[in-house]
Chain A
Amino acid sequence: MSASQDRLGLGMRRRLAGFSRTLRDAGFSVGRSETGDAARVIASPLADRPERLRPALKALFASNRSEYERFDELFDAFWRGRGVKRAAAVTAFGAANRPRRFEAGPPGASAKGLTERAEAEAPGAPAAEGHGRERGASAQESLARKDFARLAAGPEREEALALAERLARAMRARVTRRERARRQGRRVDLRATLRRSVARGGQPIDLKFRRRKRKPLRIVALLDASGSMELYVPVFTRFLHALSQAFSQAEAYLFHTRLAHVSSALAERHPQRALDRLSLMAQGVGGGTRIGDCLADFNRSHAKRVLHGRACVMIFSDGYDTGAPERLAAEMHALRRRCRRIVWLNPLTGRAGFAPVARGMQAALPFVDLFAPAHDLKSLAELERYLARL
């Protein structure tokens, strides 16, 4: 490899290194082996015709569709652009297209992040409601039953968030354990038994059984982040974060007037950083809701990839929809056919005298397998029992 690199002039080698750097800035993962191979390609007869280099290097450097589609522009700007101006433009372009890397800087002033929302004191019904602060052995129990909307800022809220997180992690452990215990469908695997019998001189003494290999349960969460859900969003995002940490296959989406895929933000280990990234991705949170349109977007662009027969879709929403209920019903119907279960968690259900009268909720209910409250930690814990049965 170094031999072919030597064949390149020093100037060319520097240019190539610069190009690799540009690509890295644009979020490509470029390693030494790629750069080495690129040098070989440039030194090859192919490079006699410069217009062939672009597709060649594209096949080499791109490793997914988004990189594949962005490559031409980066290439042209770097190799064909003249002067420093274009190069600067490339770097800027790269930075704008780099959502995957965590930026340490503060989020823009315009985007009032979820984080700040989480920090901010919950309006509505703060501590002034006047419930005593239970301490001691029963503190956790009472916390578990307290409506999220009534949690005041401060240590109590932090504790609730941490509990939500622990809950999600514990869920994973229990769901998996039960799955294993159920795996007792015993069928003799003739092929493997025969194979073993070779060691016993042809007597099938050791029987080998066949087990069903199961796809792990995949949780796909859709979180309504509209204005009416404001009080609940911080807790749910924290819960989702822990859930996606625990279930390796979890996918998460946020929606309000449009849908945002936020799994990559939640993949960040540290909860605070995850929330920071989330708030960057989900701009316009806190406005109206168009559940039907967002579900349509999900069904069209994401469902094929994300859903399979062992997927459980969890929708966190109060069901207040500004769109047409017919559309929501149609999309729920389409969604129903693609996954195993739909769970709708409605934080309002826990309130005394609640009936699901919201038009959107009415339209969606026929397609929902489990309609459950999600206003306190106890109700979230109930979920575990349900998931374990799937």
Chain B
Amino acid sequence: MPSERIPRETIAARLAETGYVADRELATALWMMDYLKRPLLIEGEAGVGKTEVAKALALVHGAELIRMQCYEGLDANSALYEWNYQRQLIAIKAREGSGESPESIEARIFSEDYLLERPLLKAIRRQAPPVLLIDEVDRADEEFEAFLLELLSDFQITIPEFGTVSALSIPRVVLTSNGTRELSDALRRRCLYHYLDFPDVDREAAILRARQPGIDASFALSVARMVAGLRKEELRKTPGIAETLDWAATLAGLGVSDLSAEPEIVHATLLALLKTHEDRTRVTPEVTAQLAGRAA
């Protein structure tokens, strides 16, 4: 498929335009997806922005984003296609006395009008290549993974009553995994791999500036430092980037511009970052003050 290939620099620049601050490695990985026509597997802790990558990628290419959330017990029917049985039944009943031949009724009810597209089928039936996000693939069962592997190599789907549907365009596939289950080697080998870590302080500050225009640069930096400090504490749930954004917005809304100046407010608003009781009790006002002092 001769889809126009975007140079790597442009990908990085357009990612930045969409508000996604990517590091060099990620921009390269996204370029290689296009060049080699391989899916990209992204692993990383919860909250590092794995799903955001796919959204940003869709924006970069001006493509539609088709998302499939995996869960335990996900089967081919809910991932691929389903017939609209209710409509089929009505169609059969409605034509019962009309003298239409059974063959023509059959042909009618197994036509495209009665087919419900699910994400995977949808993704390969688009004229322009969409971005297909297969989210949290580790939550799906192993059998589903095997099935996915087949789809990712052939890009065609066989529907017994209907025939084989070949891809009109090859979607850009992004898979994400949280590591709740070890993925098969076969799947890993089919994909490019990127490990997404929590951003360093500078990059997180850049994300804050990109997502919250108008935020003071030095304040963004101290917020990023404070969150980085918190991530080093032994927490049950490490705060993600979305939480950092929430927190920064909260502080901005309360008119805080210096973390060390108003320790009570800072401590009270930490509920945007710390989401378990244990973490809340672990981070005492003293710890907060200490971290804020170091960050400011």
Contacts and interface: CB of A to CB of B under 8 A. Distances in A.
Contact of B86 (A29, A194, A300): A194
Interface string B190-212: 01111100000000000000000
Contact of A191 (B29, B85, B88, B185): B85
Interface string A14-38: 0000000000000001010110010
B180 A59 contact: no
Contacts of A33: 189
B32 interface: yes
Nearest to B23: A55
A63 B189 contact: yes
Interface stretch (B35-43, B121-129, B246-254, B282-290): B35-43
B73 A202 contact: no
Contacts of B62: none
A69 B24 CA distance: 15
Contact of B195 (A41, A69, A197, A198): A69
B234 to A, nearest CB: 7
Interface string B29-68: 1011001101011010000000000000000000000000
A198 B32 contact: no
A55 to B, nearest CB: 4
Contacts of B29: 55-56, 59
Nearest to B75: A213
A317 B179 CA distance: 29
A97 interface: no
Contacts, number: 86
A40 B35 contact: yes
B81 interface: no
Interface in B167-202: 179-181, 185, 188-189, 191-195
Contact of B180 (A64, A195, A305): A305
Contact of A62 (B35, B73, B193): B193
B256 interface: no
Given A41-B36, A45-B7, A198-B92, A56 B28 contact: yes
A142 interface: no
B72 interface: yes
Contacts of A169: none
A58 B179 contact: no
B35 A194 contact: no
Contacts of A201: 92
A59 B89 contact: no
Main secondary structure of the interface of A (DSSP, over half): helix
B193 A195 contact: no
Contact of B32 (A41, A63, A213): A41
Contacts of A198: 83, 85, 88-89, 92, 109
A63 B184 CA distance: 10
Interface in A53-88: 55-56, 58-60, 62-65, 67-69
Contacts of B8: 46, 52
Interface residues of A, number: 36
A195 B25 contact: no
A215 B141 CA distance: 9
Contacts of A63: 41, 185, 188-189, 191, 193
Contacts of B232: none
A45 B8 CA distance: 10
B35 A44 contact: yes
A308 to B, nearest CB: 8
B31 A202 contact: no
Contact of A37 (B28, B36, B86, B194): B36
Interface in A189-216: 191, 194-195, 197-198, 201-202, 213, 215
B277 interface: no
7 contacts: A46-B32, A55-B25, A67-B193, A191-B85, A198-B85, A198-B89, A304-B180
Q: Which 6 A-B pairs have the closest CB atoms?
A: A63-B188, A55-B25, A59-B29, A55-B28, A68-B195, A194-B85
Interface of B: 7-8, 24-25, 28-29, 31-32, 35-36, 38, 40-41, 43, 72-73, 83, 85-86, 88-89, 92-93, 109, 179-181, 185, 188-189, 191-195, 234
Given A41-B36, A65-B195, 12 more contacts: A46-B31, A52-B8, A52-B28, A56-B29, A59-B29, A59-B192, A64-B193, A68-B193, A198-B83, A202-B89, A213-B72, A305-B181
